[in-house]
Chains A and B, each alone.
Chain A
């Protein structure tokens, strides 16, 4: 009958499919249905908040937002089985986006009360929507990828089983309502807390001031700190009971757009819970992992800790972190891990005969690792002054690098199959030899020399005497000055890796082999962008080794970058994120990591974004051809 169609529909879409039959029946009994002809506006930005969660039965919608400059930016597309309108339903604010039917569209509507009752009674439902609407800080394109992967891990069940009282251990710091803003700030910094509760004359809490209030209402507004604290405090006080589960706290933070909640126990104010407490609860705070790495004294102790770095990626992806931040965090953690290994090695082998510096290159050098990749490292030591010293150095660094290679391998960094490692004597040399390598590559750009430059010129010092690496970096800058021939060779390499522009119309993908019909994101997406930016960086003596850092510095130095910086950053972050999601999924399935995705599995928005990235790459390559026309063949 009538309900059966509705029930069948809900049984096949997440998160409803995970609910019990009786609950689905109950939902079917309360839905309504609307029709929107193609092109009609369903919800309008700045219009009233949505009164229902809309689940698309047929058709599709586009979500867009009008920016400050009155430009319409497309944020997302949603299709059959997907929903929209939850954020404005939960928050009571105005509708923040415009939603237009891109086809004749039919939606089932679940009214506000029903949605709230499901949120309260159905953890699966709550989890799904919390996951996909948790934070507003995420990049627009991450949004749908996140909602896709939100069901792949269930580690966040902890939110549903832990009571607020178990983790809210912050002391409540309070001041009287007669205090000034400055008193509040002093109290917060003295007790190292991010909020202070204001007590009224009856000694009962009447407001709260958080570090955000100090930032937004005082510093940003230039407010006098001698004003009464009442002028900036937040009302009403939002509270949770110590017996409530943590997801309820998250929900309240989300609903009221705040980060601090008062915790009430047995009717009395007991503590304050913050969003940071929630992150810590999930046990995957990058900060706590960093501390954990630093405190290890043995390779053996590092092994279990190093495994956690991968799970951080999954966590960050789910939290909707930007790709730029994910790679920064992962690089920071990997750096600490490698530094710990080196420190352990140095203590084992004693003081070195000459100063030395450990450098990393490739993606590690650029600080763009997502999951652990092959070891790419080298060692520069100070020029020796005698044969005896040289011999001692040779012996010392040979032992040290062998130990480090082994240690890194145990910590999850496989050795480089092409032996680009300090354990290879070729890449463990005194500074003068390195200078010679570099000058040979630049002045005699053979195919091998170009390959080596692409790899080594992204080097970055990690441990030891950084001045050795800096010396080499300066030397490289001198070398490159006026070396148009060499840069021309690099430019050639860059422009010959053309992006698959036929993508979407006729997929240009791998034509045969194991990855037939798949797209290599690293070779076709990330590499061309890295190569283009590296070329400009070398051209203009930009010393940062990361792609995003180079772009930031090149904004003022290079007209092509100045013009396209935002697009390049966006494309780079998007493809990195896509790769991260792909690899996280492979890891979860226990498969080996690769860079191959099947374009057919991408959503429309993802396809469009990738296509834009490829067009950008092709455009940049055309500009390079123009700049280096004398050297391009």
Chain B
């Protein structure tokens, strides 16, 4: 039994290495990021599953379009009619695809030690980590940034910026994209949404730098869902809020 456990542990450790801890002093513009998005069969973490994973890598504000990653996954649960309508993915398209363990392995390789950027990232991550734990015995340990949290933080500080002149009417990635003049073309799939997320992040970077967020540690303090992002305040600002 003990041997068996050790064997499993060995298997897991060999399969994936946890992301190295990031040096919090690295300037925001030098950090490697990977913007991600997933499509799901639904939002119920117990029943639903991942349909596709999309990702685009960035170094600082430079989006590496050539690195874009898009994989359809063979789902465990049934595709619901609603998700077919949203994603225009039909069951037959998905049935021929690799299963989640193969996709995740590739995805982990892509993420490396990079900071993961997403929109409402905790939803994507809860599905990804459920699969991670099931297959590889551990969650992804990469640092994370949620553009929603960054948006909220900035909107309080850049009240004159046209993007933040009014509160978001609907809470969506596309609304943020529109406010930032990002071209929102065509299909609504994981890689396009990851790309839009990357562009939103790209355009928030100069504003963040302007607000004194220069090192990745500071950025994570305001934008990481795990660090209770959004609550962090710069020194001297505390009295204003």
Contact = CB atoms under 8 A, between A and B. Distances in A.
B65 A32 contact: yes
A33 B65 contact: yes
A104 B63 contact: no
Given A34-B202, A35-B202, A2 B62 contact: no
A5 B185 contact: yes
B65 A2 contact: yes
B185 A32 contact: no
A109 interface: yes
Contacts of B186: 1, 4-5
A275 interface: no
Interface residues of A, number: 21
A2 B206 contact: no
Contact of B62 (A6, A34, A37): A34
Interface in A15-32: 28-32
B27 to A, nearest CB: 16
B61 A35 contact: yes
A31 B68 CA distance: 11
A35 B60 CA distance: 11
A3 interface: yes
Contact of B187 (A1, A3, A30, A108): A1
B65 A28 contact: yes
Interface in B32-75: 56, 61-66, 68, 70
A28 B195 CA distance: 14
Given A2-B68, A104-B181, A109 B191 contact: no
B199 A6 contact: no
A34 B63 CA distance: 6
A53 to B, nearest CB: 14
B17 interface: no
Contact of A109 (B56, B62, B189, B199): B62
B66 A30 contact: yes
B62 A33 contact: yes
Contact of B64 (A4, A28, A32): A32
Contacts of B181: 104
A252 B68 CA distance: 35
Interface in A209-248: none
* Chain B residues touching A, range: 20 to 34
Contacts of B203: 35, 37
Given A1-B192, A34-B202, A6 B65 contact: yes
Contacts of B56: 2
Given A35-B199, A37-B206, A40-B206, A2 B192 contact: yes
B195 A2 contact: yes
Contacts of A34: 61-63, 202
A32 B202 contact: no
A183 to B, nearest CB: 54
Interface in B162-211: 181, 183, 185-187, 189, 191-192, 195, 199, 202-203, 206-207
Contacts of A104: 181
Contacts of A29: 65-66
Given A37-B206, A104-B181, A32 B192 contact: no
Contacts of B66: 28-32
A2 B184 CA distance: 11
Nearest to B63: A33
Contacts, number: 55
A548 B202 CA distance: 51
Nearest to B187: A1
Could you say which of A35, A58, A109 has the most chain B C-beta atoms within 10 Å of its C-beta?
Answer: A35
A37 B70 CA distance: 29
Contact of A2 (B61, B191, B202, B207): B191
Nearest to A38: B206
Contacts of B62: 32-34, 109
A108 B61 CA distance: 12
B145 to A, nearest CB: 17
A28 B206 CA distance: 26
A31 B61 contact: no
In this complex, the member of A28, A32, A108 whose beta carbon has the largest number of chain B beta carbons within 10 angstroms is A32
A4 B189 CA distance: 14
A338 B203 CA distance: 64
Contacts of A31: 65-66
A340 to B, nearest CB: 61
Contact of B65 (A3, A35, A37): A3
Nearest to A109: B62
A35 B199 CA distance: 8
Nearest to A59: B181
A58 B183 CA distance: 10
A6 B199 CA distance: 14
Contacts of A35: 61, 199, 202-203, 206
Contacts of A36: 206
Interface string A29-61: 111111111001000000000000000001000
Contacts of A109: 62
A109 B59 CA distance: 13
Nearest to A35: B202
Interface in B134-167: none
Nearest to A104: B181
A319 B70 CA distance: 47
B53 to A, nearest CB: 14
A11 to B, nearest CB: 15
A37 B180 CA distance: 11
Nearest to A57: B183
B136 to A, nearest CB: 28
Nearest to A114: B66
A405 to B, nearest CB: 64
B78 to A, nearest CB: 26
A28 B68 CA distance: 11
A40 B63 CA distance: 18
Which has the most chain B C-beta neighbours within 10 Å: A1, A6, A31, A36?
A: A1
Nearest to B54: A2
Contacts of A32: 62-66
Nearest to B191: A2
A580 to B, nearest CB: 39
A58 B195 CA distance: 17
B54 to A, nearest CB: 9
A104 B183 CA distance: 13
A28 B56 CA distance: 14
Contacts of A1: 70, 186-187, 189, 191-192
Interface string A54-74: 000010000000000000000
Of the listed residues A1, A2, A28, A31, the one surrounded by the most CB atoms of chain B closer than 10 A to its CB is A2
A197 B203 CA distance: 55
Contacts of B192: 1-2
A2 B66 CA distance: 10
17 contacts: A1-B186, A2-B56, A2-B65, A3-B65, A5-B185, A28-B65, A29-B65, A31-B66, A32-B63, A32-B66, A33-B63, A33-B199, A34-B202, A35-B61, A35-B203, A35-B206, A104-B181
Q: Which 10 A-B pairs have the closest CB atoms?
A: A33-B63, A30-B66, A32-B64, A29-B66, A35-B202, A37-B206, A32-B62, A34-B62, A2-B68, A31-B65
Interface of A: 1-6, 28-37, 40, 58, 104, 108-109
Given A2-B68, A109-B62, 7 more contacts: A1-B189, A2-B70, A2-B191, A2-B195, A32-B62, A32-B65, A104-B181
